Structure 1
């Protein structure tokens, strides 16, 4: 059972982290490490009891991983083509296509290195696989814990329901994606109101260069047309990013009620990153998500993950550099 101790320690730290503040990326990493170490511990335990069975399990896992990578590459490329057809060729819409092509290139590099079997090519391929493995591990941590966070029970007492803005169609019209957020916010407001409270609906979003009015104003107008009371709406109309959405909204809420609590509404793909930003900006509230079209979700999740990599760029840069230096050292030894 000693083989499972590292996994148990990581899981214990994960539980402590969730209790302290569930809006942390470290919780996602600890959960991922706990799972990976548990699998390694299981393989070591099986190998110590039945060596052949342990080797067979390793082969099965490697085979499943290979099939999974090929399947994932095909899915990402297909989704990327769909995104381009439906949403256009903006850089954000090309993310899933680019990720799929990158996986194909990685597989081609790995196969080529195994066929040619040259030292330099093998080291390059091994280094590329290590970097890809690191990114894949973080991405899986992000996906799994993000889904878990979205299902954790949150405190329902709230003084504000904050709706994060997005772009407008034609500079004036609320698009379906933003309408989904507003509809989810109305449902959450109704749920809170049934418990005896009348929280303020705070729409958050400034005016972009191609917009004729601030997003928060268009959002408020949409809510009023849906029958929501105008006197319960407040507008935050200066923000242009999620960080500013939450920072400026926090200022408004603190000015009105220093002991406020809030629920933040966005789309499901954006929930976990918005929660991390809320923690960093000191907003007292958790995040819930509205549904997103299935074809849009993969690229949106990749975009959110890339944004998190940038947010933790120093840590990621150090680890990337360590992998590259390790590969260079192994090449030098050969």
Structure 2
């Protein structure tokens, strides 16, 4: 069949932008409150609240206060939160990660108070180990295989406390398989694994490391986190995690890796998460505080770009504000 390509003046794309109603009808991508996951930091104690210097609006909260925040978020329409823990003490192995600490305590309390909220937990050792690395140190590096057993212990402790989803973040080879086996063996076949499948060794993590007190005491994480220059490697990492039983795949950071997110979306059918990380958040907050940008417009446009690139869910420190703004429109 012969097709004709219309050109000006027959083709006038502006006709489809003429007013709000038309723009709403033809909009290709929608950002919804249900797409957002709010990350929060849980600390030991009762009625403890600490501001995070480089992340305006973000606080570290004791389990009782974390519950209050989560209940409020749930009632406002947020469907999921991601919990990070800060321990009372650290040691070389990060034992506090699988003991009955702030995350485990918060999980039990939130599960009671907001039973419909999806509870995701970060599974890593960096905040719990005195050296600040994501696994067991051996010489100058992290011992991959010794770390796997510890990550599985952390994931199990979270599942037993009520987590719906555990999210291994250490970038250890085989971590998804080790956690999946441990969960299944202990009767937690229903608990999902959200893999930090593609986690780059990024400069955008600085504010988080302050918030979680997780900066490495020596060296860096480039020998286990991914090189920002590599795209094909991201496909391989995701493929391995999917084969090991990951239920979700994640790209971290999100904003400067949208090309990677798009490639993963085109190749994999698994739900895709994008992590709008602390450095991305802090830049927007700083520019807004100086009056250089309209925070609401920039945040919603940024999150929309992640949806357009293929994210099914977006983990963002902007989630509570974005929820309010989306409900106002």
TM-score by length of 1: 0.28
Greater percentage in helix: 1
